[in-house]
Amino acid sequence: MAKKKIIILPKIKRILSEMGENIKLARLRRKLSSEQVAERANISRPTLSAIEKGAETVSIGAYLLVLQVLGLEKDLSTIAKDDELGRKLQDAEIITPKRAPKKKSE
């Protein structure tokens, strides 16, 4: 079975790139070499380089390991914390189905 190709939109690529740059800047502010961070995170230097470039092929677990080395792992807990759209939908009491409708077989 062939693997499905994931399509990453340009907007998401920019976000990942910015996040990678922020991780790199955090490393440099702490005066840590890429070798030190990679070793402490138990990842390879090329993986760290990919993270700092915002590569979408690197697992979120690897990103989290690097954030942990930099002492920034709690930043990940703020993702989707303030779900403005979700709260508006909840407040409007819009009923959303719990699961997608089943496909009808032909």
Write the CATH number for 15: 1.10.260.40
User: For residue 104, is it within any domain?
Assistant: no
Which is higher by pLDDT, 89 or 17? 17
Of the candidate ranges 5-14, 23-32, 55-64, 76-85, the one whose mean pLDDT is the lowest: 76-85
Average pLDDT over residues 86-99: 75
24 inside domain? yes
pLDDT in tens, 36-89: 999 999 999 999 999 999 999 999 999 999 999 999 998 888 887 888 888 887
- For residues 70 and 30, the answer to whether their CB atoms sit within 8 Å is yes
pLDDT on residue 48: 97
Q: Which residue has the higher pLDDT, 31 or 87?
A: 31
Residue 64 lies in a domain: yes
Contacts made by residues 68-75, CB under 8 angstroms, sequence distance 24+: 68/41, 69/32, 69/37, 69/40, 69/41, 70/23, 70/26, 70/27, 70/30, 70/32, 70/37, 72/26
pLDDT in the model for residue 11: 95
- Count of domains for the chain: 1
The identity of residue 17, as a single letter, is S
- The answer to whether residue 50 is domain-embedded is yes
Residue 31 lies in a domain: yes
Look up the domain containing 56 and give its range.
Answer: 10-76
- pLDDT score of 24 more than 90: yes
Domain presence at residue 95 = no
Q: Does the pLDDT value for residue 32 go beyond 90?
A: yes
Position 92 in a domain: no
At residue 18 the predicted structure's pLDDT band, cuts being 50, 70 and 90, is: very high
| 71: in domain | yes
